């Protein structure tokens, strides 16, 4: 078990074979109230018009909240590094997926003409037609 059982959290001073590390209550409460505060902040900032920055702000706040949940409630801070690698690699692959798809869609957006006008007038079920502008 030499390499599979390395006690990555041995700095917490547990006896051998002891691998649980209960979180102190004050820490749980502190994280909860921080999360609550950030929720109020994000609702509050939604009242103001920040233009295109608005989505950036709300995503930053959401990411801080998500980070708090992952780090403390999910105790990733004390966890084996492999679990952190797993979760962060998943975010990288999500970014890859979204990035490529969005990059592509943004490019061919210009070739899309959404003109459901005629169909609406005819049968009131809107249709969009894909017309390649280049053709």
Partner 1 sequence: MSAVTTPITAPTTTHDGATEHHYLNHSSGFLSWALTLDHKRIGMMYLAGILFAFFLGGVFALAIRIHLWNPNQDPDAAWLTNATYNRVFTLHGAIMVFLFIIPSIPAALGNFLLPIMLGTKDVAFPRLNLGSFYLWITGLIFFAYTLFSTQIDTGWTFYTPYSIEAKSAVEAATLGVFILGFSSIFTGLNFIVTINTMRPPGMSWFKMPLFLWALYATSIIQVLATPVLGITVLLLALERTFGIGIFDPSLNGDPVTFQHFFWFYSHPAVYIMILPAMGIISELMSVHSHKGIFGYRMIAYSSIAIALFGFLVWGHHMFTSGMADVTTIVFSALTFTVSIPSAIKVFNWLGTMYQGTVALNTPMIYALAFIFLFTIGGLTGLFLGALATDMHLHDTYFVVAHFHYVMMGGTLVAFLGGLFHWWPKMTGKMFNDPMGIVSAAIVFVGFNLTFLPQFVLGTRGMPRRYASYVPEFQSLHQLSTVGACILGFGLLVAGLVLLHSLFYGKKAPMNPWGGATLEWECSSPPPHDNFSHPPAVGDPYDFANVEYDGKTGGYYKKKK
Partner 2 sequence: MGRCAFQDPISENMTEVAAHTDGHDHGHHDHPSWLAHHFDDAEQQFDSGKLGMWLFLVTEILFFSGMFCAYVLYRNRNPEVFEFCSAFLNEKLGAINTGVLLFSSLTMAWAVRASQLKQHKLLVGMLGATLGCAAIFLGVKSVEYTHKWSLGLLPGRMYVAQMENGYHSDVDYLTPLCIAPAVLTVLFALYYVYSLVIASKFHQRVAGPLLVAGLCFFGGIYLGQFIEGGEHHGDSHGAHADAGHGEHASHDEEHAKEAGSETPAPAEASAASSDTGVALVSTSSGPLHDVAVDPKEAAIPNAEVNNQGMAGLFFSIYYCMTGVHAVHIIGGMLVISWLIVKAAREEFHSKYYGPVDNVGLYWHLVDFIWIYLFPLLYLIT
Residue in 10, 12, 53, 93 binding partner 2, rule: CB under 8 A: 93
Residue 11: CB minimum distance to partner 2, A: 16
132 interacts with, out of partner 2, partner 1, none, CB within 5 to 8 A per kind: partner 1
3 interacts with, out of partner 2, partner 1, none, CB within 5 to 8 A per kind: partner 1
87 interacts with, out of partner 1, partner 2, none, CB within 5 to 8 A per kind: partner 2
Residue 78: CB minimum distance to partner 1, A: 17
Residue in 10, 36, 78, 129 binding partner 2, rule: CB under 8 A: 36
Alpha-carbon distance of 122 to 131, in angstroms, equals: 20
Burial code of 51-89, b = ≥16 C-beta within 10 A, e = fewer? eeeeeeebeebeeebeebebebeeebeebeeeeeeeeee
Q: What token pair was written down for 63?
A: 């990411």
79 interacts with, out of partner 2, partner 1, none, CB within 5 to 8 A per kind: partner 2
């Amino acid at each position: 078990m030499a390499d599979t059982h390395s006690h990555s959290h041995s700095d917490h001073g547990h006896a051998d074979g002891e691998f649980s590390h209960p979180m102190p209550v004050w820490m749980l409460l502190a994280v909860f109230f921080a999360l609550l505060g950030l929720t109020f902040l994000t609702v509050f900032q939604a009242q103001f018009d920040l233009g295109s920055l608005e989505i950036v702000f709300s995503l930053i706040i959401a990411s801080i909240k998500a980070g708090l949940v992952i780090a403390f409630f999910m105790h990733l801070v004390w966890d084996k590094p492999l679990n952190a690698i797993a979760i962060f690699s998943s975010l990288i692959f999500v970014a890859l997926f979204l990035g490529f798809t969005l990059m592509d869609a943004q490019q061919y957006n210009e070739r899309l003409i959404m003109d459901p006008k005629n169909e609406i007038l005819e049968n009131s079920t809107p249709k969009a037609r894909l017309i390649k502008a280049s053709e």
